[in-house]
Structure 1
Amino acid sequence: MFKQIINALIGLSLFTTFVNSAEKPLIVGMELQYPPFEMSDKDGTPSGVSVDLAKALGKYLGREVKIENIAWDGLIPSLKTGKVDLVISSMTITDERQKTIDFSIPYAQSNLAILTNKTSGVKSIDDLNQKGKKIAVKKGTTGHIYANQYLKNAELLVFDKENAAVLEVIQGKANGFLYDQLTVYKNWANHKSTTIALLKPFQEKPEYWGMAIKKGNDKLKEQIDAFIKHAKSDGTFDALSKKYLTEARATFDELGIVFFF
């Protein structure tokens, strides 16, 4: 009888541990300032490609998902301190970032592009690497890193917010804004009368986006990698593309540029 009670208690303990683990929310960090990937509806509800992707991941893992809106430069610190379980925020996998955090396998391919003013005369990245040229970048992005490394002849204008950098181009105060292709496309679509989008890749190697994970959290990384493979095969990424990126994809296809998904 005593042995049966002990076994029952052990079984209850294991069941409770399983239930608590299954019910633990998955905290996902992202900066909700990057439509159509990370943004908020009018009522403040998180929305966009990355939000839907996070929800699909939660469903796959059987865990509730909570989105934490965090400024870009606070995302990696929040991951390292355990404030969030992972980051899904259009983050490029770089060697420098991999020194302190882990990434999933890539889920999207990205390249830098140029948003320029119609009056600037800029037609290529070489046109920006000139004395007297001003390049707007968002702090900490791969556009910022690239400009620092390769465009040393130009003057860099560094901003915390994407829209501030874009405004410099619209007003003709900057000759170009470096960011990923979809962001450049989106801003050109909103300001066709004053800007031009140079979408053709100019980097030697494409960039890839990954979901960022705290170093040592190998179990979650394995689960996320499995989810990404599953989502690529079951139509999840195609559905997200059709929902949010139909016009952009048509433009990319027309130009012969490899699309994100």
Structure 2
Amino acid sequence: MKKKTGYILSVLLFLMIFMVSSCSKKEDKTLVVAMELQFPPFEMAEADGTPSGISVEMAYALGEYLDRPVKIENTSWTGLIPSLQSGKADLVISSMTITDERKEVVDFSIPYAASGLTLLINKDSSVTSYADLSKEGVTTAVKSGTIGALWAQENLPEESIRIFDEVAACSLEVSQGKVDAFIYDALTTFELQKKFPESTWVNLENLPGTSGGWGVAMKKDNSLKAEVDAFILDYRQKGGFEALEKKYLTEIKQIFDDAGVPSFFAL
């Protein structure tokens, strides 16, 4: 009886170890994707906090392609690249433009979308285009850590730049006439103008040198790069990006077409 009981206990112990090991392996496969959920309709959150949007759907589609469960980590913009470097995230899918400066510290996939920077302008300002931003007395808002901030620092007088951590703060400054313009992507400036229709307008012309591809970022020499590149090509071929554009970007695509501005997925 003791031998039989010992045998049963051994089998149960083996099964427990096997189940724990299987669960650990499954957890180890989880693909952690960091993004800042403040850029609708690409990266956003529902009222209950559930991640949603174009980049979220893309991340889950990538997970299916790789046969790995996906966990979305809502991360501040300035913390996205550090999250890769520290190992807290495997990938960043957050409408991030591929730049030489960023490529020094992370690797990028091939581009999956592209966008340039435009201007949200106060209606009472003398500014009509980017050429006016360097004029005396003109002030420009930018979000810290963005391509818009880099462009401003390279092209505008330092004293004319106002740096903020949040898009909402930048747009509010423009709407209240505290700054003349806000440099950001076309989709965001278009949506912000609808919030402040009486006090702002948008110039959709891309600022020189700012039109660039968006890529999936990852830690240097990450073996995932080849698989992510293959996914992007496959997803595009199967109409995945076209379907996302129809679902989320129908209105802005028409505005872009009318203004002669390429849409996000027109690569």
Letter in 2 for 1:116: I
**Which stretches of structure 1, 4 residues or longer, exceed 4 Å deviation after superposition?**
none
Q: Distance in 2 between matches of 1:122 and 1:148?
A: 18
Equivalence map 1:88-103=2 (5 Å)? 88-103=93-108
User: Is 1:256 aligned with 2:260?
Assistant: yes
SS of residue matched to 1:259: coil
Q: Distance in 2 between matches of 1:119 and 1:65?
A: 47
CA contact (8 A) 2:107 2:220 kept: yes
What's the counterpart of residue 133 of structure 1? 138
What's the counterpart of residue 87 of structure 1? 92
Q: Distance in 1 between matches of 2:127 and 2:162?
A: 17
Letter in 1 for 2:247: K
Give the structure with higher Rg (CA). 2
Aligned length: 245
CA contact (8 A) 1:130 1:153 kept: no
Equivalence map 1:14-163=2 (5 Å)? 20=25, 24-152=29-157, 155-163=160-168
What's the counterpart of residue 3 of structure 1? none
Deviations 1:193-225 (CA, angstroms, capped at 9, x unpaired): 2111100113146211100010011x2000100
Q: How far off its partner does 1:190 sit?
A: 2.3
What's the counterpart of residue 178 of structure 1? 183
SS of residue matched to 1:96: helix
Equivalence map 1:202-217=2 (5 Å)? 202-204=207-209, 206-217=211-222
For normalisation by structure 1, the TM-score amounts to 0.90
Q: Distance in 2 between matches of 1:144 and 1:205?
A: 11
SS of residue matched to 1:224: helix
CA contact (8 A) 1:116 1:122 kept: yes
- Between 1:158-167 and 1:191-200, the stretch displaced more is 191-200
Q: Distance in 2 between matches of 1:255 and 1:132?
A: 29
CA contact (8 A) 2:117 2:210 kept: no
Q: Distance in 2 between matches of 1:202 and 1:92?
A: 14
Letter in 1 for 2:241: F
Q: Which stretches in structure 1 are left out of the alignment for 5+ residues?
A: 1-12
Letter in 2 for 1:151: L
CA contact (8 A) 1:108 1:208 kept: yes
Letter in 1 for 2:99: T
CA contact (8 A) 1:22 1:62 kept: no
Distance 1:116 1:205, change over 3 A: closer
Once the two structures are aligned, what percentage of the paired residues are identical?
50
Distance 1:45 1:222, change over 3 A: same
- Between 1:184-193 and 1:122-131, the stretch displaced more is 184-193
Deviations 1:103-140 (CA, angstroms, capped at 9, x unpaired): 00001111010000111121110111112111000001
CA contact (8 A) 1:111 1:206 kept: yes
CA contact (8 A) 1:114 1:178 kept: yes
Deviations 1:34-73 (CA, angstroms, capped at 9, x unpaired): 1111111001101111111101111111111100011111
Q: Distance in 1 between matches of 2:255 and 2:72?
A: 31
User: Is 1:235 aligned with 2:239?
Assistant: yes
What's the counterpart of residue 224 of structure 2? 220
What's the counterpart of residue 7 of structure 1? none
CA contact (8 A) 1:133 1:154 kept: no
Distance 1:198 1:154, change over 3 A: farther
Q: Which stretches in structure 2 are left out of the alignment for 5+ residues?
A: 1-17
* Aligned CA-pair RMSD: 1.8
Q: Distance in 1 between matches of 2:154 and 2:166?
A: 21
Q: Distance in 2 between matches of 1:20 and 1:191?
A: 50
Q: Distance in 1 between matches of 2:178 and 2:219?
A: 40
